[in-house]
Amino acid sequence: MENESNPSITLITMDRAAACTIFTRSDGKEARLPLDPSPFEDTSVLSRLDFTPAYGALLATTLSGDQALFEMPLEGAGDQLARRLVVYLDQNQWSLLSNADRGAEKSSEVDRVAAQKLKKWVDQRRIVLPASAGHYFETSKRFSTDKRYDLGLTILQYSRGWQMRDPLQVRRNELHDAFCHLMDRPGRVCSAPVFTLDPDALYAPTRWAGVAQTPTPQNRLAFQTKALLTACVSIDAMLDTQRVEEGPDTGWMAASQRFSDWLDELDQDSQQKRRAIDIHLVKDLQQELAEEAAAAGVPKELFHQWGFKGWVRAIGEAPAVGLFREMLQSRHLNKGTTWRRNDLTDMVYLSCAAGYADFVVCEKHMRDPLQRGLKRMGRSAQVYRRLTDAVAAIEELLEAPPSPVGPAQ
C-alpha cells in the first residue's frame, strides 16, 4: 500500500492551450509550471500530452480531438512483447488499413472487418503492429496534408509505440553476433530486440555519427525522460503539417539496373551469377563487416584469413541481412528485372521484418522473392500480399489451442 505521507506523481500533463505543465500527485494535489518557451511548433497538431509514470503510458491528443496511446518502455521490465504476435505491414498496407479504419468509400467491407479485428487484437494485447522509420518517411512525404494526417494517425494508433529497430542497426548487430559465434564467444553477442519500445530504436546511431556508439549507463529518471521525449517527438513528427521533402537520388537504382543488365548478358549458370551477386553485396557491406569484426574482437589476420567465404557465411546465416541477400539474388537473377527507386528501401525493411516477425504483408513484386528467400533459409515467417488473407491466418493462429507441454525431463 502506498505511503500517504510520501505521495508520488501519478500524471504529467503538457497542455498547449493552458500553456503549462501539470504535475498531479497521488493525493490529488497539482503543481503547474509555465510552458515557456512552448515546445509546440506552429506546424504541430498536438494539443495535449498525458503521461502516467506508474503504468508506462503516453496519451497524445490532437487539435482535432483525435488520440493516440503509446505503450512506454519500462526499465528492467524484461520482455514487454509478452508473446504477442508481430505483424509487419508494408506502407501500402498501412494505407489500405487507414482507409478501412476511416470508412473511406474506396475501402471494401471485408477490409473494414479486417481493420476492426486487427484493432481488437491490438487492444487485447494479442498482436503488435510495429512502425518503422520507413513508415515515418513514406508518410511524412505525402503531398496531401489531410491524407498524411489520417495515415499517420492510423499508424500511431495501431502501433501504440511499438517499432522495428533500424534495419541498418539490426544488420550491424547480426554481423557482430555472427563474428562472435565464429570466434566461439557467445557471451559477447548483442541482445537488442528487433521489435521494441526502446527509445531511439527507430534510427541507428550510425545514421548520425558514422560509427557505432556504445550505450551509456543511465538512471531510472534519465531513462524515463529519454523514452518520453523520443515518443513525443515520434508522434509530433508523424503528424506535423509540414511535408518532408524526398532525399536526393543516391544512384543506387541506376547502379542496380546496370548490374542486373550485365548479369542478363553474362554467359554463366545461376550459381556463378550468385557468386557475382555476393561479391557485389560484400563490396557494399565492406565497412560494416570490418567495423563489426573489430567490435567482436576478431584479429585482423583472422578476418583476412576468413576472406570472402567467411564474410559471406556471416551474412548468409543472419536472419535479416541473410534474407536481404536472398532477395537481392532473386531479383538480380530474374532476367529483365526493372529496378524502381523505392526497391532498396522495401528490401531493407521487409527482409528485416521477415527475419523476426510472425507475419508480413507486402506487394507481390516483393512478396515473391521474400518467400523464396525464407524457403531457402528455412525460416517460418508467413508472407501475404492481401491484408484480409493475413488477418484470416492470424485469427486461425490466435484461436488454435495451445501446444501441449511435454513431460519434464
Q: Give the pLDDT confidence of 322-379 residue by residue, as tens digits.
A: 999 999 999 999 999 999 988 999 999 999 999 999 999 999 999 999 999 999 999 9
The pLDDT assigned to 403 comes to 65
pLDDT band at 408 (very low <50, low <70, confident <90, very high): very low
Would you say residue 50 lies in a domain? Answer: no
What is the model's pTM?
A: 0.91
Q: Give the pLDDT confidence of 185-234 residue by residue, as tens digits.
A: 888 888 789 999 998 899 988 776 544 444 555 677 788 888 999 999 99
Would you say residue 108 lies in a domain? Answer: yes
Would you say residue 182 lies in a domain? Answer: yes
Q: Give the number of domains in the chain.
A: 1
- Contact 119/176 with Cβ under 8 angstroms? no
Chain CA centroid to CA 392, Å: 23
Q: Give the pLDDT confidence of 115-125 residue by residue, as tens digits.
A: 999 999 999 99
Would you say residue 159 lies in a domain? Answer: yes
pLDDT band at 4 (very low <50, low <70, confident <90, very high): low
Would you say residue 406 lies in a domain? Answer: no
- Contact 122/182 with Cβ under 8 angstroms? no
Would you say residue 153 lies in a domain? Answer: yes
Could you give the CA distance from residue 235 to residue 254 in angstroms, rounded to a whole number? 35
Residue-level length of the chain = 409
pLDDT at 77 over 90: no
Could you give the CA distance from residue 104 to residue 254 in angstroms, rounded to a whole number? 37
The pLDDT assigned to 55 comes to 82
Q: What is the DSSP string of 364-402?
A: HHHHHHHHHHHHHHT---EEESSHHHHHHHHHHHHHSPP
Give me the domain span that covers residue 326: 86-209+220-399
Neighbour-count burial of 126, counting CB atoms closer than 10 A to its CB (0-12 exposed, 13-18 middle, 19+ buried): middle
Would you say residue 267 lies in a domain? Answer: yes
Would you say residue 203 lies in a domain? Answer: yes
What ranges in 240-318 are assigned the alpha helix state H? 252-265, 270-284, 286-295, 300-316
Q: Can you tell me the mean pLDDT for 278-284?
A: 94
CB atoms within 10 A of CB 189: 15
Q: Give the pLDDT confidence of 8-18 residue by residue, as tens digits.
A: 889 999 999 99
